[in-house]
A and B are shown apart, each in its own frame.
Chain A
């Protein structure tokens, strides 16, 4: 059969499109993605974290443990995890602080260095913070070289050997969980102690908490405590409006928490 050039181009294009469309459907119908449509929590392994703010005493042991475990210079004013103090007065004023990331704990009633009489305070509490290991992490999205990535089990990590240090991820994190490592000079963040949890251990912060505030576990493992808390208690996440789907779930969150 004789083909003109025009016909050849036409048919060639058609067949390329014809193969591409069904191929792209395979991407849409990935088993994982389908499973997540059926079950709200997909069957795959996924780490999650819970924080019970009603139990936190602000001792700061978690921050200390994290700094030592993960080799962040202790006196450097950056941390993978920190604790914030919220104090609301009768006038409705909200005072927030986190002196030195709370690695020395909150030992005095002096929010932001102010002396507030106890009878003026209507409520006060502590909120531990750490990386939320989002399902849709904006930090991973914006990394120009792919140096930061999400593992199969939902933990967001940084490749220290590949990061160029542009700071785009740091600016795109709604929680400011990221910073530059004082020694390695690359983006740095909480890893949920990936080196520990993979061996069946707890994170350093959860281990060091005397009050059982912090817990890590499998989101979809019905035996795990984290699963039980998230499925049976009233929990909330920080800044859901950014659409990152954070995976640190808080008990006792308040509207004044930033």
Chain B
């Protein structure tokens, strides 16, 4: 029998007493996976704020956030394939789903959510698609022809129906997005052997951090996209996104703090080792980066008066970093305390891809996965342009009550 290699040995350093079979089995991809899924959910919620709640000032980003949400959604499950030791057997989850398992329903939740987003995009761009299928030539014409799905009616009545469908889909989409990401939180929250994960608050903590990261990534990408397209960026739009960000940021922060305070107060058997992880081994990552730089500093930046594009951009970048750190701290931090409560494990992300495993589970794969949604967005933007519409400050300022009535 060949010796093979022990999965986990490459990146785990054990300290004091850990069980012999204990390694960090859920690695960086399990942090990237909820991170990207969270961005999907957050970006979708942002677009729904315009479609459902009628936040008129968000009109310039409504289509963009929808398309970006889809680009992110396409990549969301790929970290899992990188993580599996038998990636080519991934389809078994569809062939024999074992529904007692919290992750078996992922395909269903994921695909139904994707159907909602795809349908909403189609309705939102239908008029544009029909127009393009007539004005474009060659290959592009063919693409748009196919995308019309045979529906070329752009009469006033048909467009009105489109609007109605978008509203309905966006309204269904909000609970679906909440379900998608709350469900990801549940996958962690239900692992009863990891004290840091096992809390019924987990789905809500994940959901709120998803929303803040999704709004932040939209602010971040929209500003970059518009700067590249040399288009005007409405301050009212940015401010409105920042307001939403502040609102969810406060809730996310409170939930995370309540969780820790609760653990400290009840001080169960594992609190001794958990507090060592929180206040010693992960102190910089959790307290300084995740909370300090990722939540409190952006909160201060955004609640100070006269938010401008630059400040919004900085705050959004900080939130993005903070939420990634949160995913990392939950996944790696949770596993870093031995389940014997008598030892620790340290995780070293493989950097140089000198073996299949070091590539698959290492930094290179992470960079590929995290940049993929932006590349997809670039190509989707060629077909569904989201940075081309020109707005001026008057288009997207917050309407007064009387104007709303007229609208």
Q: Which residues of A contact B (CB under 8 A)?
A: 71, 73, 75-79, 82, 94-98, 100-101, 112, 129, 138, 141-147, 162-168, 170-183, 185-186, 242, 258
In the complex, B191 has a CB within 8 A of chain A: yes
Residue pair A97, B17 in contact (C-beta under 8 Å): yes
The 8 tightest CB contacts between A and B, nearest first, are A165-B85, A182-B4, A180-B7, A146-B98, A176-B19, A258-B340, A96-B17, A179-B21
How far is it, in angstroms, between the C-alpha of A14 and the C-alpha of B80 when the chains are bound?
A: 44
Seed contacts A176-B21, A182-B7; 17 additional CB < 8 Å A-B pairs:
A73-B2, A76-B3, A95-B17, A97-B17, A101-B20, A112-B17, A145-B98, A147-B92, A164-B84, A164-B89, A172-B191, A176-B22, A177-B21, A180-B6, A180-B25, A181-B4, A183-B4
Please give me the residue from chain B that is nearest to A142 by CB atom: B101
Hey, which chain A residues are within 8 Å of B16, CB to CB? Answer: 112
Residue pair B101, A141 in contact (C-beta under 8 Å): yes
Hey, which chain B residues are within 8 Å of A129, CB to CB? Answer: 19
Residue from A94, A164, A171, A175 within 8 A of B191 (CB atoms): A171
Please give me the residue from chain B that is nearest to A258 by CB atom: B340
Residue from A78, A97, A164 within 8 A of B6 (CB atoms): A78
Residue pair B93, A162 in contact (C-beta under 8 Å): no
How far is it, in angstroms, between the C-alpha of A165 and the C-alpha of B25 when the chains are bound?
A: 10
Residue from A79, A138, A163, A186 within 8 A of B20 (CB atoms): A79
Residue pair A258, B85 in contact (C-beta under 8 Å): no
Residue from A75, A95, A146, A258 within 8 A of B3 (CB atoms): A75
CB distance from A52 to the nearest CB of B (A): 21
Residue from A146, A147, A165, A182 within 8 A of B5 (CB atoms): A182
Question: Contacts A164-B84, A173-B193, A179-B21; is A144 near B7 (CB within 8 Å)?
Answer: no
How far is it, in angstroms, between the C-alpha of A53 and the C-alpha of B211 when the chains are bound?
A: 52
Q: Which of B323-346 contact A (CB under 8 A)?
A: 335, 339-342
In the complex, B405 has a CB within 8 A of chain A: no
Query: Could you pull out 9 A-B pairs where Cβ atoms are within 8 angstroms?
Result: A82-B21, A96-B17, A162-B89, A165-B84, A167-B26, A170-B21, A179-B8, A183-B2, A185-B86
- A-contact 0/1 string along B19-34, CB 8 Å cutoff: 1111101100000000
Hey, which chain A residues are within 8 Å of B192, CB to CB? Answer: 138, 172, 174, 242
CB distance from A205 to the nearest CB of B (A): 15
CB distance from A70 to the nearest CB of B (A): 11
Hey, which chain A residues are within 8 Å of B4, CB to CB? Answer: 73, 76, 181-183, 185
Hey, which chain B residues are within 8 Å of A76, CB to CB? Answer: 3-6
Residue pair A183, B6 in contact (C-beta under 8 Å): no
Please give me the residue from chain A that is nearest to B92 by CB atom: A145
Please give me the residue from chain A that is nearest to B106 by CB atom: A144
Residue pair A180, B8 in contact (C-beta under 8 Å): yes
In the complex, B139 has a CB within 8 A of chain A: no
Residue pair B22, A180 in contact (C-beta under 8 Å): no
In the complex, B83 has a CB within 8 A of chain A: yes
Please give me the residue from chain A that is nearest to B187 by CB atom: A168
Residue from A100, A143, A166, A172 within 8 A of B193 (CB atoms): A172
Residue pair B26, A145 in contact (C-beta under 8 Å): no
Please give me the residue from chain A that is nearest to B18 by CB atom: A176
Residue pair A144, B339 in contact (C-beta under 8 Å): no
Hey, which chain A residues are within 8 Å of B194, CB to CB? Answer: 171
Residue pair B20, A144 in contact (C-beta under 8 Å): no
Residue pair A186, B86 in contact (C-beta under 8 Å): yes
In the complex, B353 has a CB within 8 A of chain A: no
In the complex, B175 has a CB within 8 A of chain A: no
How far is it, in angstroms, between the C-alpha of A23 and the C-alpha of B342 when the chains are bound?
A: 49
Residue pair A258, B26 in contact (C-beta under 8 Å): no
In the complex, B229 has a CB within 8 A of chain A: no
Hey, which chain A residues are within 8 Å of B21, CB to CB? Answer: 78-79, 82, 170, 176-179
Please give me the residue from chain A that is nearest to B95 by CB atom: A145
Hey, which chain B residues are within 8 Å of A170, CB to CB? Answer: 21, 25
Hey, which chain A residues are within 8 Å of B19, CB to CB? Answer: 82, 98, 129, 175-176
Residue pair B193, A171 in contact (C-beta under 8 Å): yes
Please give me the residue from chain B that is nearest to A161 by CB atom: B89
Residue from B17, B25, B92 within 8 A of A171 (CB atoms): B25
Residue from A78, A94, A163, A173 within 8 A of B86 (CB atoms): A163
Hey, which chain B residues are within 8 Å of A77, CB to CB? Answer: 6, 9, 20
Hey, which chain A residues are within 8 Å of B54, CB to CB? Answer: none
In the complex, B228 has a CB within 8 A of chain A: no
